[in-house]
Amino acid sequence: MKGIGLIGRKVGMTRIFDKDGLVIPVTVIDVSGNVVVQKKTEEKDKYTALQVGFGDRLERLTNRPTMGRMKKAGVHPKRHLKEFRVSMEEAEQYEVGKPVPLTLFKSGDMIDVTGQTKGRGFAGVMKRYNFHGADGGHGVHEYFRHGGSIGTNMTPGRTFKGKKMPGHYGDERVTIQSLKVIDVREEEQSILVYGAVPGHVNSIVFIRKAIKAKKTPSN
């Protein structure tokens, strides 16, 4: 999937009212300060991409190679960087050191949001995989939330990899597809999104146009 996107910070949730007075719960994503810090070309790098920076970083905490790239681009050191594969035609529309406009998205657009989910520690199979659990009667004793048998007899005589068992739950990189943009507020440099945006408050997310958005049939 090619196309430039935005880096944002998940601020939290609020609600707005549509024209019919219905309440819409939305997630507010702060996308202020997105700027192009590097451009990759087919001639030099064998592929075409735009590297976008978000969030300022102290110069004394920035290593020299990164500092050199930022000075070359004429921007303040950025804390978060993300590379977006783009076509040559799209790359020509952006200049290094210039901000990425919010007009990239508009109200009603469908987007994909990538982020790190909340970490929930060590969890059992009922919480981690929604197992049903054992019945609460007829001789069941201290086995209500267990995962059941995991053996496979003598052949193959081992537990298969990927078996659903208790373990670390959450804290993984996921992409939630086809979320709806309710509003783009340029004066506040924020996007209001309807749907399950991954991550905790203040976490970093990556936004790009949806790859599975349903196309409106032509008349």
What percent of the chain has a predicted confidence (pLDDT) above 90?
Answer: 79
φ and ψ of 29, to 5 deg: -120, 120
What pLDDT, on the 0 to 100 scale, is given for residue 218?
45
Per residue in 59-94, pLDDT tens? 999 999 999 999 999 999 999 999 999 999 999 999
Helix or strand or coil: residue 171? coil
pLDDT at 134 over 90: no
CB 123 within 8 A of CB 167: yes
Q: Where are the beta strands (DSSP E) in 45-198?
A: 49-56, 78-85, 110-116, 119-123, 167-170, 173-185, 190-194
Q: Which CATH class is domain 6-118+173-209?
A: mainly beta
Enumerate residues 6+ apart whose C-beta is below 8 A from 63.
none
pTM for the full model? 0.87
Tell me how far apart the alpha carbons of residues 193 and 29 are, in angstroms, rounded to a whole number: 8
Per residue in 161-195, pLDDT tens? 999 999 999 999 999 999 999 999 999 999 999 99
Domain boundaries, the chain: 6-118+173-209, 119-170
Cα separation values, 146 from 56, 102, 119, 139, 169, Å: 48, 49, 22, 15, 16
What pLDDT, on the 0 to 100 scale, is given for residue 35?
96
Q: List Cβ<8 Å contacts ≥24 apart for 101-104.
A: 102/6, 102/31, 102/184, 102/186, 102/189, 102/191, 103/184, 103/186, 104/4, 104/5, 104/6
pLDDT at 108 over 80: yes
CB 176 within 8 A of CB 198: yes
What pLDDT, on the 0 to 100 scale, is given for residue 135?
83
Query: Which amino acid appears at position 126 of this protein?
Result: M
CB 10 within 8 A of CB 29: yes
